[in-house]
Structure 1
Amino acid sequence: MDETFIKGLYLGQLLAVVGIDGNNGMFLIAYAIVEIENKDTWEWFIQNLIVDLGIENGHAYAFISDKQKWLGLALADLIPNAEHRHCVRHFYNNFKASYSSLILKQILWDAARATTKPWWQCHMERLKIESEEAWKWLYPKSTEHWSRSHFKQHYKCEILLNNLCEAFNASILKARGKLILGMLEAEDGK
């Protein structure tokens, strides 16, 4: 799930949900154009998504985002049993603002890619040895949002990045500058 700015005469935000199929192909599930991104608009969007997809139990769904505050709050309220992951690339960008060495970057990514809790713990211990301050920044973060080792296993999905939405946003870049009806008529984002 992600949002992007609408450009042109009428400004706003485009909220989107992009899915991934069994062949790692991306497909657009739903989108909406809203005036502003906030908790109310995300709740409205997710409520419509719940109806459209017939979601009765959030245990069958995993969402990944760039850790937008309002989206996270809306998901927690409306689909509390769904897994909400945070894009590790965006997570790392916050980390590197204070801890920018290549070794710390590698350790963070190793911890994110770890598939078991003991391996995750091993990488966290390496981080603590390398930089206790970096470890203090990372350790209290909710691991179930960013490390494979803590993802629920029944999803069978190991995605760590929100690249699907980024690719969708890039594909509609030209269309985002058109009027709303023009956006809907645009072919291939032209």
Structure 2
Amino acid sequence: MYMCLDAVKKGFLAGYRPIIGVDGCHLKGDHGQQLLVAVGKDPNDNYFLIAVAAVEAETKDSWGWFLEMLLNDIGESRKCYINLLHGYIVFCTETINQGLMQIFQEALPTLEYRFCLRHLYANCKKAYGGGTVLRDLILSIAKATYVEEWERRMNQLKEINRDCYDKLFALDPKLWTKSHFTFLTKSDMLMNNISEAFNGRILEARHKPILTMFEWIRCYLMTRFAEKKKKEERYEGSVLPKPKKRLDIITVRAM
């Protein structure tokens, strides 16, 4: 079962940056299915649910079906949005889902995608051990904003942990580091926190039967949009709170 509300679709196409986090989570009922979600970011850096689907499992077929439905929805006016979908949209996903990776590499090779940095580090930690030194170095590599800095940090990783270096060097840097991201999306998002934030918010609904859960999500979105509209009407600033806070930090560091 798949759901993408018309108002949500129009809202995403009207003004949101073309970056979408995709993720799956377990449903808690007796049916034992999975919930696939596609989540964008609103202007205040909060999550903006685009579509959800209940499927039997996170397989190549289910992910392919979900992404096909999603792209058909947000690209309904395909003549107008063909460049958006096949040149500008970026998907952010965890690194361990092989079915989803196969879809991106085989069925949708023109779409850009990125790995979630948190999942990437978790995989490295599991394989090669953790520690603050390795963690901070991997984070600094991913956050490097120019190629020379990325190369310098990678050389440091090579001296500390050669196996981890080989694993990360084998990955296309366009998938996980700012220094190689394209400029088309105007977003340097490294982690898929928006999807996981939504999954956590609907935890109580994930225990319900499928139809009841979808109705709960629909009502939750209606209430959320109404509350945000009221807050926006009362807000007097020219820059929304979260971006302003981040901008203030950058301003102080630049002094």
TM-score class normalised by the smaller sequence:
over 0.9
Contact 1:116 1:148 in 2 (8 A): yes
Give 1:27 shift: 0.7
Letter in 2 for 1:64: C
Any residues of structure 2 matched to 1:174-189 within 5 Å, and which? 174-186=204-216, 187-188=219-220
C-alpha distance in structure 1 between counterparts of 2:163 and 2:94, whole Å: 24
Instruction: Report which of the two has the higher share of helix.
Output: 2
Contact 2:47 2:197 in 1 (8 A): no
C-alpha distance in structure 1 between counterparts of 2:117 and 2:199, whole Å: 18
Give 1:188 shift: 4.3
Gaps of 5+ in 1: none
Any residues of structure 2 matched to 1:16-27 within 5 Å, and which? 16-27=37-48
Q: 21-30 vs 158-167, which deviates more?
A: 21-30
Letter in 1 for 2:35: L
C-alpha distance in structure 2 between counterparts of 1:39 and 1:116, whole Å: 35
Q: Which whole-Å deviations, capped at 9, do the CAs of 1:44-65 have from their partners, x for residues lacking one?
A: 1111111101152421101001
Residues 1:5 and 2:29 aligned together: no
Any residues of structure 2 matched to 1:94-105 within 5 Å, and which? 94-97=123-126, 98-105=128-135
Q: 39-48 vs 122-131, which deviates more?
A: 122-131
Partner of 2:113: 84
Contact 1:15 1:32 in 2 (8 A): yes
Identity rate of aligned residues, in percent?
A: 36
Secondary structure (helix, strand or coil) at the match of 2:110 reads coil
C-alpha distance in structure 2 between counterparts of 1:19 and 1:181, whole Å: 24
Residues 1:129 and 2:159 aligned together: yes
Residues 1:65 and 2:104 aligned together: no
Contact 1:46 1:75 in 2 (8 A): no
Residues 1:170 and 2:200 aligned together: yes
**Structure (1 or 2) with the larger CA radius of gyration:** 2
Give 1:144 shift: 1.2
Over 3 Å counting, the alpha-carbon distance change for 1:48 and 1:22 in structure 2 is: same
TM-score, normalization: structure 1?
Answer: 0.92
Give 1:21 shift: 2.6
Give 1:38 shift: 0.7
Give 1:109 shift: 0.6
Gaps of 5+ in 2: 1-21, 76-80, 222-255
Give 1:182 shift: 1.3
Contact 1:2 1:65 in 2 (8 A): yes
Secondary structure (helix, strand or coil) at the match of 1:135 reads helix
CA-atom RMSD, angstroms?
Answer: 1.7
2:63 to 20, 38, 42: 42
Contact 1:8 1:177 in 2 (8 A): yes
Q: 138-147 vs 116-125, which deviates more?
A: 138-147
C-alpha distance in structure 2 between counterparts of 1:30 and 1:134, whole Å: 35
C-alpha distance in structure 2 between counterparts of 1:17 and 1:3, whole Å: 9
